[in-house]
Structure 1
Amino acid sequence: MCLPFCRVSGYRSSGVTGYATRILGLGRLLGRRTAFAREVSGMTSTHDDERTDRRRGGLTMRDIAALAGVSSKSVSLVVNGLPGVGEQTRLRIQELIEQHGYTPRAQAQGLATGRAFLIAHVFNNPNPEYLMLMQQGLLDALEETGHALVSFPMQRDDPQFLDRLRSFVDRHRLDGVVFTSSVSEDRRIRPLMEDLGVPYVRVAAKALDTRPRSVVGGDRAAAGLAAEHLYALGHREIAMVAGPPSFLSARERQSGFLATLEGFGAALAPSLIKGGEYTFASGLAAGESLLGGPQPPTAVFAANDEMAVGVMQAAQRAGLRVPNDLTVVGFDDFSIATRVFPRLTTVRIPTREMGRLASLKLLQRAQGTSCAPGELIIRETSAPPRS
């Protein structure tokens, strides 16, 4: 569980199960600034820092200074783009830095430049796998810049939402903020962040801000893939378990799914659309309601994988076999999709890639708003209806 405010350093892995995080309280980070200050000022470097740099095979600031025949303070001034060094000396130091691949630590630079080298992720999505994938993507881009990631959960219905957000951004000298669903959907974010003068990016199911400040998930088009799949299989008695209406992603997935079916002339009756909360329990309840009648649907699309697995449980309780009697399709392609039997057919959206794009846009290293489109992943829970 993440602390209310924490600093996260991540290590990349191809899968969520291999993802490791190290969480440090901000107080611990601040407690180290004395050591960082010594390096920046050129007075001395800590023995631990020297040993760490040498174990990594890199040179220290002191080494660069010795090669250039100058003080460590001069090297620090050049690294941080500060005045106080002659032009010839500056060029000599820069050549040595490039020649030996010296990389200064971001925290040490921060003390000299007044920057904290922190990027914040502000969220309220309770799904742990979504958070892990999103933060993996954010860190994929940030690790090349030396920035640390700060995780800050908030609730949109908190009466102190704006005051807390303003205080958080002001207090920690952030280089930027990434807002993800559903906090990103709050209209008050844009005027607040513009007033604070801090760069930000909003990740959402559709564009909610200017192009440089938006990363779009494309949930509407992705949900249409599920509708196309079910219709192509021959299903006409189709039902849907929708997500919570307060989430833009849920509204976009529902509208995309229904619009695609309507385009085929297969509009759903209101009785075949049940509300859910993006949880297993709500999917189970919706599934029991849909499958308990005399003429149950032959296929169900659930707006996320957890609800889809709940529908599969309801089918089992009703004596229905998946996919022989009922096709089930989910959305997200989180790990639960391959940990159930039969494995779940679902729609994959590039959550990790969205996080990476958000970081790149925040650092002004990317221009687009969308990642790769959603992808239908066909597994064992889909089949044609029984004749």
Structure 2
Amino acid sequence: MKSEGKSTINDVARIAGVSKKTVSRVINRSPLLNDETRARVEKVIGELGYVPNPQARALALRRNFLIGLIHDNPNAQMVLGVQQGILEAIRDTDFALVVRPVDRGSPTMLDDIRGFLERQRLFGVMLLPPISENDALARVCREAGARYVRMGSAKLDDDDHAVASNDREAVAAATRHLIEAGHRRIGLVQGPHGFRSAVERRAGFEMAMEEAGLKVPRSLIVEGTYRFESGVAAGDRLLDASPRPTAIVSSNDEMAAGVVQAARQRGLSVPEDLSIVGFDDTATATHMWPPLTTVRWPIIPMARAAASKLLAGTIEGEDDEVEEPSLFLSTLIRRASVAAPRE
């Protein structure tokens, strides 16, 4: 039996029959372990009197336990979902979450974020789209010594520094669902300029339409801002087209709700007169009537995995190997907002 403070993490791992990473996760109270493994490691730690090297841990953590969430995103429900995922990952650890909104249009954005990282000495940061798509921002994080993970609608970095969803394929599947229902004249409310998600989702829509041999007039693609009001405006423009579309794909649920309002203001019924598909599967999708057919974006699991990537290697002896997935698949959720066209 070694005296207190003399045992090493290697001793604990060897006697418990686990890796150093597993011992690290037990000490960090990570939720990624089963109870049996946790109990076995804790028993060995108690028997050996092992105490983590506080100096090594403080060095690894830059003397704090802060995870930053940096964003400039108009979708409040998305930001809340990301926060929930991060908080689930850091539950029962010593880490806390710091949220920092920024203005991506500011000429001083990079300098402002650099100063924030240096002042707060953050252990790591999660970057939300669209600023996550800025390679210069990733360099700022590296130069400031802060770990980072970039969230996006397509792969933006190596697996240790990114989580991504398959937006293009998911929207293509949603569009095919409308085509299979009999729709041929389909409009799109795309996301705002500067968002990779807007590009990926439009590409998926156009891919499915092209596969079906269907042309998309420019008048049937209207840009929105991911906010409800822009969905109303986009819906008005699309429904002014002659002939009007029998179905509309919206790049998020908030704008889809706006399209529904625009349709009802014209006396149109959903889905009898107009079928609508959204994206995200936020609470909006089930709170509106009829319930919205939409693409379920796995935002909480993505955020949880991203935070777990940041936590990897947080104490003495733990390497930087990441076991969390980097690609998350979105799925189509079929509800009552889609039906065959009247004609």
Q: Would you call these one fold, judging by a TM-score over 0.5?
A: yes
In the TM superposition, what is the alpha-carbon distance from 1:306 to its structure 2 partner?
1.0
Letter of the 2:282 counterpart: F
Letter of the 2:276 counterpart: V
Is 1:135 matched with 2:92?
A: no
Is 1:354 matched with 2:311?
A: no
Is 1:382 matched with 2:330?
A: no
Give the alignment partner of residue 221 of structure 2, picking from 253, 259, 273.
Answer: 273
Tell me the distance in 2 between the aligned counterparts of 1:167 and 1:366. Answer: 31
Question: Secondary structure at 1:188's aligned position in 2?
Answer: helix
Cα displacement string for residues 110-134 of structure 1 (whole angstroms, at most 9, x for unaligned residues)? 5997520111111111322111111
Tell me the distance in 1 between the aligned counterparts of 2:6 and 2:85. Answer: 32
Tell me the distance in 1 between the aligned counterparts of 2:267 and 2:337. Answer: 16
Tell me the distance in 2 between the aligned counterparts of 1:322 and 1:151. Answer: 38
Tell me the distance in 1 between the aligned counterparts of 2:285 and 2:154. Answer: 25
Give the alignment partner of residue 369 of structure 1, picking from 304, 320, 326.
Answer: 326
Structure 1 stretches of 5 or more lacking a match? 1-67, 82-93
Is 1:196 matched with 2:196?
A: no
Tell me the distance in 2 between the aligned counterparts of 1:114 and 1:213. Answer: 19
Is 1:246 matched with 2:202?
A: no
In the TM superposition, what is the alpha-carbon distance from 1:140 to its structure 2 partner?
1.5
Letter of the 1:376 counterpart: L
Cα RMSD, aligned residues only: 2.7
Find the counterpart in structure 2 of residue 213 from structure 1. 161
Runs of 4+ in 1 over 3 A off after TM superposition: 77-81, 94-104, 109-114
Find the counterpart in structure 2 of residue 282 from structure 1. 230
Tell me the distance in 2 between the aligned counterparts of 1:112 and 1:294. Answer: 62
In the TM superposition, what is the alpha-carbon distance from 1:377 to its structure 2 partner?
0.9
Question: Secondary structure at 2:184's aligned position in 1?
Answer: coil
* 8 Å CA contact retained: 1:278, 1:303: yes
* Aligned positions of 1:84-233 closer than 5 A: 97-98=45-46, 115-233=63-181
* 8 Å CA contact retained: 1:357, 1:366: no
Cα displacement string for residues 227-265 of structure 1 (whole angstroms, at most 9, x for unaligned residues)? 111011010011111110211111111111111211111
Aligned-residue sequence identity (percent) comes to 41
In the TM superposition, what is the alpha-carbon distance from 1:79 to its structure 2 partner?
10
Judged with a 3 Å threshold, the aligned counterparts in structure 2 of structure 1 residues 125 and 78 are, in CA distance, closer, same or farther, namely farther
In the TM superposition, what is the alpha-carbon distance from 1:97 to its structure 2 partner?
4.9
* 8 Å CA contact retained: 1:155, 1:183: no
* 8 Å CA contact retained: 2:62, 2:123: no
In the TM superposition, what is the alpha-carbon distance from 1:292 to its structure 2 partner?
2.4
- Higher RCO (CA 8 Å, separation ≥ 6 residues): 2
Structure 2 stretches of 5 or more lacking a match? 10-41, 313-321
